[in-house]
Structure 1
């Protein structure tokens, strides 16, 4: 670490000399995060984006100092996840990134050129947006790869929740939840816990007195969604962490709930909005794929080029997709079935695979694309809309339990990642 800091200082010195010679403003290190750094320019970029978004929504904000603290914490966690991704050999290719941007543009009903211009108008720099999106995709994959293996859901749990929902006459209502976390320090003393509780009580009083929840979340929350005003998005009550669902049940819009104590700290919740959800119809896709995993023997470029060749041969009629899958695919679950994945909702797959399936027309074969599992080509064989049968209800209940458990474990994973890291935040000049 001493060597790393010496190298960082030397580089900054060189930058300073060069900048002085050309009379340009220099960048500087705001924090050391294991083997990387957080730069002042990156903090300024996040603060500026938050201010721009708040102005567009007529949202009041806390002080610049509070925004800077939240931006620094966001970048520290991002840096830790990107370093872990590098150790795991996890990458997002340009092709994957382009697919994601294409899907975002389609969802906003814009052409790629129009979407690009919108980004430039709103943010000023399209390439910076691309790289930020790439980082967000990588950090999402890091969390998924580390959290999914922690989750096991037994058939008995599914049966119990189905019975509970039937007994309660549970509806399909969804809640848009706001969340503030007043975190307890690691290895906290009794005095630390008391001080944290006092802070949570003061936040509660501010909210009861009419302070804006999102503004207070940005200023005070240690939650991962602090810069979004604590907005957790839309969730069914059975997808929430158990602590939240028990407290939310029976509450109405704008209620302030808390403080709720957990191992992470004291939680304060509000309900931004409530809506019903129509889940009678489910869209399914029948698909198949071929997976090639990069290795010491098969490079990233070789895996991609092999699949590009397979796709070309199938399109020209020189080869059969199913036979190629049986011979070459490295997915043991579908290989013997010619790569057939059967009927399923695209949402069960990792984002890059899901987005590719949603974009493909029936019988269309994709270009090679990368996921955390390796390189794929995929083909959509058919699409259908089905009723929510008993089997589908079990799948929905499974996803509710999974989402609730995933949210809890993701928070635990990020807390553990930060606690184990060497982090040194420089004082602001």
Structure 2
């Protein structure tokens, strides 16, 4: 009833063409309402512009194109959905400011290898005003934000689904990954006595111990291996999981370069294998930092300048040996999570932190206390106590699997959600 009241209240304005007077005061048709969508409308000019954009697109094949009537029908349907979602954005308080818009347009221009002026000219050549193009981009961003807010909560992904997909990806990739294996074989055939087997096992354990202590694998292979590649330092060359002995495949599948496995018992003795190298598999490494900080938060009784002065005093006290970083953090830091640990933040990737903090921990020399700097949380001094490179391949696989699942499920839920929104909306075609 509410929608009907709103419709009839505006029907007198919407059902007739919009008019404009020229210099001779003759009335000319400017635009007209084609569809009423809840509290909004779809105009003929919007439909014409969208059809024009489609025809000007790189994917449009005029030789095999649908009729203008079909294009217009599709355009109307898209604009109805757009209007429903833009009205929802208004109710949700979602707005795209000019800074966000400019950033998005700059990104579009870069993707097309164009300057902003060239992009503007391209729109003009296609008969699209720059103001209309900007508004279209703003609407697209707004709708994306509405969709994320409304649909994301409808997507559910379990850890089991992620693990299953990771295994599937790994199984497909393992057939392509090549391993360069080194082997040290301590001979002991199936006819060996128990005593001989024990002696061979002891020799294999000794070789493993020497490798753990840093001995060269190639040198030990030449001196100790009974394998056919002993004189080559045990080098067996490049093999995939499917082309190496099953016993070896089970032992080295998924192992990183440099990993030593064994001893593995077979009918000919005890094998010690080393993954000398791998190729065909993507590994992901990230830089992590171990840092500690002291945070001072300004307040009504503590100004920005005073907070900064306090931190400068702390730096001087630490440099003079009057106080330690640990003591000052415990006494003064406003970060409850790290203060009790002397400001220690543990190991973390720099991108975990606020932009200003990230820039500091990435650039400051180790074991140097930074000058005071400000983030959204307050004023800080920070010290990086260590750095390391961490293999995050497994974590990256999990994230990739999650994103693949999320993308598929989001698309499915988005289609369902849009259909639900359309079914619930008041939509009326205005007769010409």
Q: What's the TM-score, normalizing by structure 1?
A: 0.50
